[in-house]
Structure formats: C-alpha cells, structure tokens
Structure 1
Amino acid sequence: MLNYKLLRGVSVNVLAIVLVNGAALAQQNLPTIDIGARTPRSSQRSVPSTTGAPSLSPSSQDGPPVEQTTAGPVRGYQALTTRATRFQTPIQELPMSVQVIPRKLIDDQQAISQAEVFRNVSGLQPVSPLFPGGIGPTLRGMRAERYIDGLPNYYDLGVRDLLVNVERIEVIKGPASILFQGGQSPVGGVVNIVSRLPTPDRFAEAGVRGGGYSYVSPYIDVNQPLTEDKSVLFRLTAQYETTRSNIDVVHRRSYTINPTIKIAPTDATSLIVQGIITRRDQPDYAGLPAVGTIDRTFYAVRPTAFLSTPGLPSTGTSSSGVTLRFDHKFDETFSTFTSARFSSSGIYEPSQIPFGNTPTFYADPTLPLLGGPGIIGGPSQFYMANTILKQQMKEVSVTSNVMAKFDAGPTRNKLLLGGDFNRVWELAYIAGANATAPDPSIQAILNAAGYGAFAPFYPILIDFRAPVFPPYLYPLPGQDGYAIFSRVNNAYQNAGVTLQLQSTILDRLHILAAGRVAFIDIYSEERAVFPPTSFNSSQTAFLPRVGALLDVTDWLSVYGSYAQGLRPVTFFNGAGGAAPKPEGSEQWEAGVKLNGPMGLSGTLDYFDLKRTGVPVTPAGSLTQRQSGEWRSTGFEADLIWQPTAELSVLASYAHIDARVSRDENPRLVNATLNLAPHDSGRLWGHYAFDGALFEGALKGWSVGAGLYAASGTVVEIGQPQPWALVGRPWSTSGYITFDATLAYKHENFTFAINAKNLGGQQYFVQYPYLSGRVAPGEGRTVFVSLSARM
C-alpha cells in the first residue's frame, strides 16, 4: 500500500513511483440501561425497567425479545440505542442516519472480517483485507474513518479486521458528526467499533474456524469477576489468524490481544481500562493495473497474479495502546464521563510495484538522434520500482463531557458540554530505486555516444504477458534511480469544544442542535529536499449541526438535518511553500424512520454531501491550489424485518452519485469518483429452529442465506488519455455473490458451516493502491467453526 497521503506530499512532478465465530456472549444479567426514551403509549408494550426510569418501548413487541448488552439494548438485529450523541439515545429519536450492526448479526452470518460485516450497511464500502492500512472505508461516496470506542484511530494501522473483540458496529453517516471530529475528521462518516466489556458472569469460551485458502483462526474469550461483590471485573479476548489468499504467494498472519478491567465501586462510578496489542504481516499486494484486466485490448493478465517478485519480504504493521474511560453520575440530573487513549503504531512496507494503470509506452525524442529507437516500451510493458515505506506514529486522544438531563414544561431535555483533543506525531520515510538494470541495447547506444550516465533512465521493462520479476533489493544510495521521495516529521492537532441540546417536545417532536468551535493545527516538515521545507497551518471555525424528527404515528417518523465539518489537509504542495487551509464539508439529509408492526424497522433517507477546498493541481503547474470540490448525492435504505423470534431479515440498498463538481482541470469536472459503486445492496435472512414448535430433531439448528450485489466502480478518477474510452472511464463490472450458513447449538457447544460466493462468481473490485487499481474478488470458499463455552 504506499500511503496515498504521503505520496501526495511528494513533489507532484515526481510520478507516483512511491509508490468467531462463537455463541453470543454474556448478555444476561446486565443492568437495564436508562436511556430516557419516550413514555409508552397505550398501544405499546414497554420493556420492564428495574431502575424506575422511563423504559425503552419499541412500537411493537413482535419478533425477538429485548436483551441488554454492554453496549445497549438490542432486539435481534435491531439495536435500540446508540451513543452517536454521547448520550445513550433511542435511534428512532435521532434526526440523522445511524445504523448499528449488533453482535447477533455478526454471529449469524459467520462473518470472517469487519470488511465483510460492513457490507450490511447501505453505502458503506470496506477497505480490502489485502490492504495493510493508511486509509479508511468509504461512506456515501466519500472517505470515512474507523473509530474504536468513540476515539479516533489515525491511519488505522495494525489489525483492523478481526472480530473477537467487537460487541457492535455503529455507523454514523455524514461529516464526522459534531462529537467525532478528531483524527482525520472524515467527510463520509464514522464507523465506530464498540468493544466487548466485562460482565458480572464468569465464563470462558474458546473456538476455532478453518476453511478455504488454508484459513485457520483460533480465539478465546475469558470473563472473570475479581471480587465477590463483582465490583471489579476482568475480560480477555484474543484471536490469531493465518490464511493464504486467492492471490498468488500472499500469506497473511494477524493477531490481536485485548485485556479489559472494569472497576465499579458503586452504581454511580466506574473506571474501564482497555489494552490492545495487534500485529499483521503480509507481502504488500499492489493490485492489478486496469490495462490487462478491465481493458484487454493488448494483453490479459491472470486475475490471481501477484505482480511482484514471489520473494518479496512481508509488510509488517502493528498497533498497541491503552484506553481509559471514567464515568460518574452525580445525581439524577448531572453526570460526566471522560475517555482517553494513548497509542503507538507503525508500518514497515517493502514493495516492488509497477507504475500506474497504463503500460510504459512513449515516444523518446532523444534516442533517435543517437541512432536508437524512437519508441520506448510497449502496450504490455511496465516500469518496476523497489520502494520502502517506514512510518511511526504516536497518538493521544481525550474527550471529556458534562451532561444534564432535565424536564421543562412539555419538554424532556439532554444538555451536553464537551471538549476533545487529538494529537498525532508522525515520522515517515519513503525511498525507491529501479527494480531492474538498464536496458542493455539502449545502454550500448548511450555508451557509444558518451552518454552512458543516462542509462539508468532506461531500465529494463517487465512484459506482463510473461513476466519475470527480479529479486527485491532494499533501496539504497548508489542504486540506479535511487531517490528519497519523502522524509517527514509531522504533527497533527484536532481539538474542539461542543455544546449540544437534545429536546423532546410533547413526546412527538425531537430536536437536536449542536455547535462546535473547532481548532485544527498542522505542522509538516519535509526533509527529503535541501534545504528542508515546512509549513504550519492553524484555523478555528464554528461548525453547526441541527435536525428535527417528528413522530407522525407510533411507527412512522420523518426527519431532516444539516451538518458541517472541518477536515485537516496534512500533505500539501502549495506555491512558494504556502500552507493549506482545512477542507470543509456540509450535508443536507432528509428521511423516514420505521418502527412498525410485524417487526419492521429501519431508515430510508436522501442526502446531499459536499467536500470543499480539495487540493488540485492546475494544468502545467507543479504546485497545488485548494479550489476543488466533490459532491455526492443519493438514496439509502436500511431495513430489518423480524416478524417472529425465529426469523430475521435484513435488507439494505444505496444509490450514490459521487462526482468531481469543481476542478481547474476541465477534463476532471463531472468525473465520477472511484470510492463507491453507483448501486449496491445486501439481503440476508436467518431462521432459528428454537421455538416451542421445534422440540425434536430440529431443535438447536439454524440456517441463513443472503446475497450482496454491486454495480461497477470507477477505477481511477480522470484516468490518463488516450487509454480512456470517450465517455467511458475504466470501471469494474457489476456482480452478485451468494452466501449461506448452517449452525447447530447444543448446550455449551456450537458447530457451524458457512459458504461464501456460492456461485463462484468471478469479478474485480476497485483497489485503493496509488491512484486506483483492481483486485479479484474471492472465489467460492467454505468454512467450518467449532466453539465451546464453560
């Protein structure tokens, strides 16, 4: 993966050479969570509350019963609350699109990775598990960011896909939300991973999954109260994964270890300390160029080919950190919580990569004067470079909030005053050199003319029709084509103060109003040039978020909202060393929320999302200006149907039109962005033979089946001419895959088998390497898992 943001810091005249399963865990005997939901109407049946506080009351109790979890109450696949506003708030009362993937859905689908789980949410496109890190998923056609327990996770290095420590996944759509503005402040939204926490029950669970591509992944989950009164609780989760791939020679090894301790001397006070240690090793996979895969005019490359030397050393990426959360409730009105994290992460990435999506094929005006050829390369030949990326980061994140809940006349109110601070220190180094020796025929011509020193500019090109790759050599001074492309010492600071009010008026109108004073400070020093260059960019801005939701009936609500965001520009090549200004974002959203009879719930919405101040490079210029703009509009649907306790159905769909709306290069204006397909959707159904009707042989069995479908995705924004067909940029083809599961649970043992891509569909997906590549989708795979709990 060469980090695409680091690459943007390289002078723009340098062409981008740089280049488990397991049963649902301990959710019984948890305290009922006071969320301040609206009072039940006569047509509703409320969930009993042991706290004396207002009870959560879904409009219908058809379907599964409500269960309490450490992250909030859930009803089968329907999470009833979220902390998207820092308060535990019913999702049905929020004037914004928030989708939650509870643990039950993850287990029923027998998911292998977080990337696989993300596809359940409309408009959310994951980063391929083949990619080592440095970027986040995309949401609503723009980049999003993966948070962990409400705190940013800059560059997302280490292990991001293992599921053993995931309680739920909350997807907050739109410009980073007011309370999630740390880190990179993504435009598309926040994907917040909520970790598993200790519970009062003592248990130990162990399991293993094995299957296609030599996949083996054991895990453990141990929960132990440490005191008799259960005021001190401990939980440890850990998972190891080793797997090959549908890509030649790619072998990935990952592990994560997550100890957590919770100290709660009283019901009003608690301290949670979470640790995490992760590491991932895999040879760097650079994807496949569009020419040879999407465009096979001149040649075709094998979809599973690894277009580098088979002996490429593995890329290692790791992350470790400690998170603390302190909660205290002063009385029935006032409470506070503070979360803080210190983490360290890094990546060591040796790569051997082909340039771009197009072959090295050009006219040379000089060689004919010396008796040499006028055309260099060919329609299937590529320049190859050996590169190295070394990156180390340290990150501190803190958020502290004071909250009040009170009634005033016909209104129920929640007021929050919060502050947050996020700072990242980054050291990074990128260097490269030619992977091949000079072309001997051209070198002979240059030597004869007395220009032999220029021979390294004409290295041997690799013909992808029958490629033979040289061994990888660590780039060092003295090698042909050696250059240090970037050596940066950067510091990013993102902080703010937020005031937020949530009000419910007459039990039907729900208002959300928030304002944030945001502070962004970026210091960047580039030492790869002499003398070193640097810039410092600071800005303060006010960011609003407002919305209203009206309960039209007990089961139907309509809402609208508006939000703004501010995003730091961390790598910029401005004229005269000019410092960048933060990018802006804004979103309008309107939708409908359902919570009706027969277990039907969900959200349908329309959005208009804009990103402004995007750095662009004017034609003929070597520097950047912030005059670009991207815009994404679309429609989304996320629905759940649970008519009985045994049957659960999920359906999601997104139509996204994301384009470059303004650029100084006319060819790019109105170009489709390469971050999401126009249309995509997921359908999944699961049936458990657990009711009173199934006391015989079927008792304990469950079955599930589903599909995922997507239209084509543009490979590269504004791809090079003349390779681009007029009006038809490179795009992958649409595809549909089917999956199914069969599981059996008996007392403390669970056995499951699941198959993915049952039809063996062959397809390509967009792969975010450099300016965009493609990668083949995984073929038909079957997995078997076994777990036991004591």
Structure 2
Amino acid sequence: MNKPLLILLLFLATQIGFSQSTSITGSITDNSKEPLFGVNVILKNTTNGSQTNENGQFIIENVANGEYLISISYIGFKTKEVKINITNNTSVNLEPIFLLEGNEMLNEVVVEGSRTNKFSRKKSAYVSKMPLKNIENAQVYNTITSQLLISQSVNTFEDALKNAAGISKLWSSTGRSGDGAGYYSSRGFAVQPQLVNGVAGITNGFINPSNVERVEVIKGPSGTLFGSSVTSYGGLINIITKKPYNSTGGEITMSGGTNDFAKLIADVNISDTEKLSLRFNTGFQKDNSFQDAGFKKSVFIAPSLTYKVNNKLAFNFSYEASSNEQTNETFLFLNRYGPIAFNTIDELGYDTNLSFTNNDVTIDNVTQNYRGEIAWKLTDNWSSQTLIAGGIAKSKGYYTYLWNVADWTNPAAPIGTENFSLYAQDTDARTKTLNLQQNFTGDFKLGDLKNKLLVGVDYLDTKTIDNSSNWGYLHTINIDGDLIFGEPEINATNLNTALNGIGNLDSDIRQNILGAYVSDVINILPSLSIMGSVRYDRFNYLGDKNTDTDDDTEYTQSTWSPKFGIVYQPILNQVSVFANYQNGFSYVNPQYITDFGTGETTLQSYDVEEANQLEFGIKTNLFHNKLETTLSYYNINVDNKYYWATKTQDLKINSQGIELELNASPIKGLNLHSGFSYNDSEIKDSPSATGLEGNRYGESGPEITYNFWADYKFLSKFGVGAGFNGASEYDTMVDYKSVTGSFYIPGYTIFNASVYYETDTFRFSLKGNNLSDKTYYSGWSTVTPQQQRVILAAVNYKF
C-alpha cells in the first residue's frame, strides 16, 4: 500500500471516529420547571433518538454533521420541534426545553411501548378535562393500557374491563333499543360504556376492541364535569380510540380459535411527518357461541385525521362505523312477583349447552360515531379545545328473552318452577346524538399560587325514535328445552305470526342538556393542592309516546353539582394522600300515575336524584415508575332514589367499600397488573316498599372482585403471560327477595395464560382463556352462562 493512500485512510478513520463521538444533550421540563421522565426525543427522518431520564435529561449519540429537526413528544403535552446544525463534529448542548400541556394527540402506542412499567399510565387529559398526573389527581381512575390489551390478546370489550378494579358484568350487550349496551357494576351502581374520547358516544351493540387504544374507568359520581347522561353514581367508562401519529407504518393482525373464532384487522398510518397524519383502521370479527346455537359478527371502519397547522393550532377528526349482527344471548329472567322454587344454580338444573334459540333469529346494530376537535394554544398559558361530536345507533331485528313462569300443568306449584316463556319484539329503533363542547384551560400563577383552570360549556341533544313492536308471546318450555305450550320452533315465520296485530310502540323522545362548568386546581405548595369544581346543568325532555297523537310530555329541570378534592404529597411525585367529595345526579322523567280507586290518571314529576361521595386514599409512583398503586375507601349516599316498581322517590341507598390497584415492573421484562375491590351496598330506607330495607341494592353485583395478570418477556423476544380474575357469590334477586326469595349466582375464579414470540416486525401469540373450563354466570335478576374454555392464536405483522 503506497504512502499517500495510507495517509488518506488514516484521515478518513479519524474523521469517522470524531463524527461518531458527536452528541446532542439537553434537559426537558414542564412549565413549572419540573423534570419530565420518559419524553421521546427523536431526530426526524432518522432512526436515532433517545428518552429523558428521571432528571429530565437526554443524550443522542453518534450524530453526523448536518441540519436536523428534533421532535420532542410526551403524552398530555404539545409536541415541540427544535432545529439544530452540527458542524465540525462539535457536540451540542441545548438550552433547557420546556413543554406546554395540551390535548392528547400523539401516538400513544409507541410511547407506552417504550415505558418500563407498561401497564401503568401516569397522566390523563380526559379524567379532569385537563392534563393531570394521576398522583396529583384527587379522583380515582383505572387505566387499561394498550400494552395490557396486547399482552392478554383481548378480543372483547368485556374481557378488557375485567382488568378494572371493582368492575363486574351484570348483562352482556343485547343490542336492543334504548339500553342495548352492556351493563357493569361499579361501586354498587350499574354503568354502561357511553363515553368515547371524552364525549358522549353511542354503544348499543358489540364494541370492537381493535379500535380501542385504552380504556379509562373513572370512579365515583362524576356529574360535575360529565353531566348525567353518560355517568352513573359508581362512575363512567371512557373509551379512547386509536389516533394518527407522526410516522408512516401500520400492522395487520389475523386471529383464529375455538368456536370458529376469526379476526382480521388492518391498521395503516400515513404521515408527511410535518403537518398531516392519516390513520385508517378496519376489520372483521366473528365468533360462534359455545352453546348449541348463537353467534356474533362485526365489521368496522375507523378513519382518523390530524392536521397540524403549526405548534399552536391543530385539527383532529375521527370517525367509526360498525355493523354488528348477533343472536340473543341466553337471558333467563327470574320471576319477580312470587316465590321461586329454586335458590341456586344446582337446584335450577340448567344445562348451559342449551341456548333456547337458533341462528335464524338475530338483531342487527349499525353504529356511527364522529368527533371533530380544534386544539388551539392561545398563549403560553391558555389553550382552547372546541369539540363537535355525535353519532347514530340503529337496532333492527328480533330481540327475545325467557321469563320464568308458573307450571300451568300444576296450579298448586310455585310461580318459579323451572318453566320459561319466550317473549319477542320486532325491534326497529334509532338514536341520534349531537354534542357541542368548548373548553378553555389555563396554567398560570396568582401571586405565589399556581392555578390549573378549566372553564367549559357543553350541549348534548339526543333524539330516539322507536317503532318497535309491542311484546309478543311465542311458547313456554321447561329448563330442559321441552315444549310445554305454543309454537315449537323459534324462527322468523312463527315470530311474525306471534307479533301480528299487537301494535307498535311508536315513541318519539327528544332531550337536550346544557351544562356549564368551572374547575380549578390550586397548588398552595409544591406538595399541596386543592381542587374546586362546580357545574350548572339544565335538562329538557320532550316525549311523544305515540307519534299518531299530540300527547306530548315536556319537562324542564336544572341542578348544581359541586366537587372538591385535596392532595398532599409527602414525597413529591412519588407518594400522595388524597381526599375528595364528588356529586352525581340523574333526572327522573315524569310518569303517569293511575289511581285505581277513582280511575283518575295524573302526571307525576320528580326531583333530581343526587348522589354524594366521600373518599380518601393513597397513591404511589415509586422506584422511577416501577411501582404504581392506588388504595382508597369510598362512601356513597343516595337519599332520593326513584324506585320503578312503586313509581316513588323514597329509597335511601348507601354504598361503601375499598379498592386497590397495582401496576409494577420489579425487574426488567416483568410487568404486573392487579386489582381488588370490596363493596358493601345497602338499602337503608324504603317507605313505599319496606321489604327492600336492609337488602343489598340490586345492581351492586358481587361484594368482592379481583384480577391479576403477569407478563414476563425474556431473551428479548420470548414472553409468557398468566393471570386470573374472579368474584364472590351474590344474590341476583335482592331487589325482590322479600317476595321471591333469593337466587345465588356462584362465585368463581377464571385462569388465563399466554405465550408469545415478538420482534420489531412480527408477533406470534397463543392464548388460553378459562383454562380450567369453569362454568360460571352473570346476572341482574337474570341468569346468563359465561364463556367456556377458549384457545386463541394470533399473528401480527408490523411495517
């Protein structure tokens, strides 16, 4: 080798060595100069990047000469971009960077995937309608993260909610008009999933989890910020859908398994990495029942768009349309009007393989939801969020149920012998919603006091038209499915004959709610904050029970709803002690009351129902987010609950209990999620139905629920998961047991496990649910058998 060439090679090697040692360093804080941990710092159009440590510091190494655009992103904060120019192989130490809080518009899947504790989420902009860390929020909520959904290969929304402490299923989704979404019990009160991305959304049928980024279960009466239409006194369920992100890629998922389960999902994101990002998610899913008949199938499309005008102004739009068809899940309604002859599952003698239906009798649900958002950073301290959202939900087809009746062959038998009559309705209903919302959030100081202020107004208009038939009778069978009386076959022809000439509901109901709210979180000290909130709500109801008449009922009522909270952090950002007072309310529509002595009918109006909660507890975020816990005690009182059977408003209900949630990552690759709940619910007073006093409130479900899941990834690519969930025994007839006696839904523990192999491009997984093939049930004055053992396999390709 000649000398000039040797010198040239030595020179190039030196230059390469210098260029590889060049780095970019800096620190990132929030607007209060507190360091942010886990912030994504990426050199755009390259594969080079880093994350901040616990001190908010980052370093990007091996950077060559040139001009770069650094993208800095973190959930709950506005994305910031910084231009730099590296010359002469000189390292760059950036000036301190601070991020401004804003709406959640980032790719939450990527951010969560890079976290140490993948099952935790430290912050939410939805729970308090402003970005707040969990540890500084006086309200309790559980977040079911995307990483937990992936780890468990979740394919149903019901399975997703099993991860929330204190949530138990009462009813599966029926798809019928009015209340077709599933019912769950939270803190002793029934709740339905009716909130999508922080605004009202219609979910009358099957919710496909393939477009769900995460689920937030917000606990306790939450009327102050969310009103009454989407909440219960036990809380609310907020579904966060998948959103666009700042890169191009996607994934395709194929699954199959027991009971002919099949799923195909395509999720594609396209972005120019500067201003425009478009995401399109679509899929198909079907599943047959473990029983002798029954199925569900669903198709959905979900396009979403983000257009970032600049660092201060962005437009976001999302839309989801789904078409679902299903048979009616087995609901055995127990008779409420006389003694039943059985008190347990064993005494009933039900063979859970029997569905008492066939696959020709189905109900269809078409659901559409849209959400448009204008996110505008007005100044360094003030932000504006304008929302326009709405949807339509349709229910069409046959809905059937089985009602426990007397044994007509034996007049002396109790009402509740093992005979059930099938009743049917030809459902034809649709509901439209329009939700307008304007929020202003400010982050500023008054003297030495830091304020996070929310001022908002929202308007929700709902219109429901129900042209469904009245209820018709088809036949009576015994618990073994043997015909006692009526038509033997369940099919469209026989159902049409049974429903012929019985008339229709023909109702047209419209209601609108106008609400205005103010909420302020004041930091008196860095370790001490208080929250004060209040809402004014005006409700208007206009109902026409028969569209052929002018028999309208109009009703207007208003209420105030306060909320208070206090948080003290003895170890800043690691341990907090909190307490809250929360209020919830519900409007009771007027009812026609008939005096059977005189025959006179009058319209009875009612006061606004109110629930008040007192709660205190502790939250932790220890060992650099490796251990996150929430432990709380709550006490909820409702003093004027309406009782449908007597049409009076005189029930007093107390519901109290404890809840524990834990998310941990004790060693690298191991993630744990666990929850426990105990609820004590009691009807304290019921003057119009004294037999209820002392009973557990009917929609409370089991006293004890629990869940656990562990995921361990080893050798960088292989992983295993295992866990369980369960509930204690409960009386599903507590509302009626003074007349009927009790019927106990047995307690259960269900074991699940998975194995997977995962790379940057592929994920292969095998999941087993209910591995012990346990027979178990849910119910709310009903009995419904739950899923038997299921084995699922999935292949996921990422590009």
TM-score category (smaller protein): 0.7 to 0.9
Q: Which has the higher strand share?
A: 2
CA distance in 2, matches of 1:244, 1:478: 28
Q: Say which of 720, 737, 748 aligns to 1:735.
A: 748
Q: CA deviation at 1:267?
A: 1.0
Say if 2:223 and 2:561, in contact at 8 Å, map to a contact too. no
The structure-2 alpha-carbon separation of the partners of 1:298 and 1:106, relative to structure 1 and needing over 3 Å to count, comes to closer
Match of 2:434 in 1: 396
Contact 2:228 2:587 in 1 (8 A): no
- 3-state SS of paired residue (2:159): helix
Alpha-carbon distance, 1:494 to partner: 1.9
Instruction: Give how far 1:493 is off.
Output: 1.5
**1:462 matched to 2:457:** no
> Kindly tell me: are residues 615 and 465 of structure 1, through their superposed partners in 2, closer, same or farther at Cα, counting changes over 3 Å?
same
Which secondary structure state, in structure 2, belongs to the residue aligned with residue 282 of structure 1?
strand
Contact 2:394 2:431 in 1 (8 A): yes
2:571 pairs with 1:553: yes
Partner of 2:388: 340
Task: Tell whether 2:762 aligns with 1:749.
Answer: yes
Matching of residue 301 in structure 1 with residue 350 in structure 2: yes
Offset, 1:422: 0.7
| Match in the other structure for 1:649 | 672
User: Distance between the aligned counterparts of 1:582 and 1:398, measured in 2?
Assistant: 24
Question: Structure 1 residue aligned with 2:490, among 456, 468, 471?
Answer: 471
Larger radius of gyration: 2
Q: Does 1:205 align with 2:254?
A: no
Task: List aligned pairs for 1:400-411, cutoff 5 A.
Answer: 400-411=438-449
C-alpha change, 1:490 and 1:34, in structure 2 (3 Å) is farther
Aligned position for 2:260: 214
Greater RCO, 1 or 2 (C-alpha within 8 Å, sep 6+): 1
Distance 1:124 1:322 in 2: 27
Letter in 1 for 2:784: A
1:776 aligned to 2:785? yes
Give the length in aligned residue pairs. Answer: 691
Q: 1:302 to 1:33 in 2, by over 3 A?
A: farther
In the alignment, what sits opposite 2:461?
423
Decide whether the 8 Å contact of 1:298 with 1:379 is kept in 2.
no
Asked if the contact 1:72/1:82 (under 8 Å) is kept, the reply is no
Equivalent residue number for residue 204 of structure 2: 157
Distance in 2 (CA, whole Å) between partners of 1:56 and 1:604 is 30
Corresponding residue number in structure 2 for 1:13 = none
TM-score, normalised on structure 1? 0.81
- Whether 1:331 and 2:379 are equivalent positions in the alignment is yes
Read off the aligned partner of 1:609 and give its amino acid letter: I
Q: Is the CA contact 2:332–2:401 (under 8 Å) kept in the aligned structure 1?
A: no
Deviation, structure 1 residue 361: 4.0
Q: Distance in 1 between matches of 2:541 and 2:255?
A: 44
1:687 and 2:730 matched: no
Partners in 2 of 1:235 and 1:511 — Cα distance?
39
Q: Does 1:412 align with 2:430?
A: no
* Cα distance in 2 for residues equivalent to 1:510 and 1:778: 46
CA offsets per residue over residues 597-647 of structure 1, 9 Å max, x none? 3722111001112334332257xxxx6122223321100001112123311
The 3 A distance-change label for structure 1 pair 433 and 94 is closer
Matched with 1:142 is: 189
Shift of 1:564: 1.1
* Unpaired runs of at least 5, structure 2: 1-26, 38-52, 59-71, 73-79, 81-95, 102-107, 335-339, 595-601
Task: Say whether 1:569 aligns with 2:588.
Answer: yes
Is structure 2 residue 138 aligned with structure 1 residue 95? yes
Please tell me the root mean square deviation across aligned C-alpha atoms, in Å.
3.2
What is the letter of the counterpart of residue 157 of structure 1?
N
Letter in 2 for 1:535: T
Equivalent residue number for residue 724 of structure 2: 707
| Contact 1:46 1:56 (C-alpha < 8 Å) held by counterparts | no
Q: Which amino acid aligns with 1:143?
A: A
Which aligned pairs between 1:182-331 and structure 2 lie closer than 5 A? 183-225=229-271, 227=272, 230-289=274-333, 295=344, 300-308=349-357, 310=358, 312-331=360-379
Q: Tell whether the 8 Å contact from 1:159 to 1:256 is kept in structure 2 after alignment.
A: no
Change (3 A) 1:114 1:383: closer
**CA 1:39/1:97 → structure 2, altered by over 3 Å: closer, same or farther?**
same
TM-superposition CA deviations, 1:23-52 (whole Å, max 9, x none): xxxxxxxxx99865773599x933348555
Range moving further from structure 2, 162-171 or 236-245: 162-171
| Cα distance in 1, alignment partners of residues 468 and 685 from structure 2 | 31
Choose from 215, 222, 225 the match for 1:176: 222
Quick one: distance in 2 between partners of 1:513 and 1:98?
18
Specify whether residues 383 and 41 from structure 1 end up closer, same or farther in structure 2 by C-alpha distance, changes over 3 A only. Answer: closer
Does residue 613 of the first structure (1) align with residue 640 of the second (2)? yes
Post-superposition offset of 1:86 = 1.5
For residue 186 of structure 1, report the CA deviation from its aligned partner: 2.2
| Matches for 1:590-601 after TM superposition, within 5 Å | 590-597=616-623, 599-601=626-628
Instruction: Output the CA distance in 2 between the equivalents of 1:476 and 1:744.
Output: 50
Cα deviation code 1:179-224 (max 9, x no counterpart): 2225344221121111111111100211111111110011011000
- Whole-Å separation in 2 of the counterparts to 1:601 and 1:75: 9
Aligned to 1:668: 692
SS of aligned partner of 1:761: coil
Return the alpha-carbon distance in structure 2 between the equivalents of residues 72 and 89 of structure 1: 21
Task: Output the TM-score relative to the length of structure 2.
Answer: 0.80
Q: What SS does structure 2 have at the residue aligned with 1:78?
A: coil
Decide whether the 8 Å contact of 1:521 with 1:536 is kept in 2. yes
- Asked if 1 retains the 8 angstrom alpha-carbon contact of 2:167 and 2:705, the reply is no
1:73: Cα distance to partner?
A: 8.2
Structure 1 stretch 601-610 or stretch 134-143: which is displaced more? 134-143
Single out whichever of 670-679 and 91-100 deviates more from structure 2: 670-679
Deviation, 1:72, is 12
Letter in 2 for 1:677: P
1:514 paired with 2:533, answer yes
Structure 1 residues 552 and 374: CA distance shift in structure 2, 3 A: closer
Provide closer, same or farther for how the CA distance between residues 152 and 661 of structure 1 changes in structure 2, counting only shifts above 3 A.
farther
- Give the share of equivalent positions with the same residue, in percent: 17
Distance 1:72 1:517 in 2: 41
CA deviation after TM superposition for structure 1 residue 532, in Å: 6.5
Q: Which moved more, 1:377-386 or 1:119-128?
A: 377-386
Cα distance in 1 for partners of 2:313, 2:445 equals 24
Q: How far apart are the structure 1 equivalents of 2:790 and 2:555?
A: 49
Equivalent in 609, 631, 634 of residue 604 of structure 1: 631
Give the conservation status (yes or no) of the 8 Å contact 1:311–1:471: no
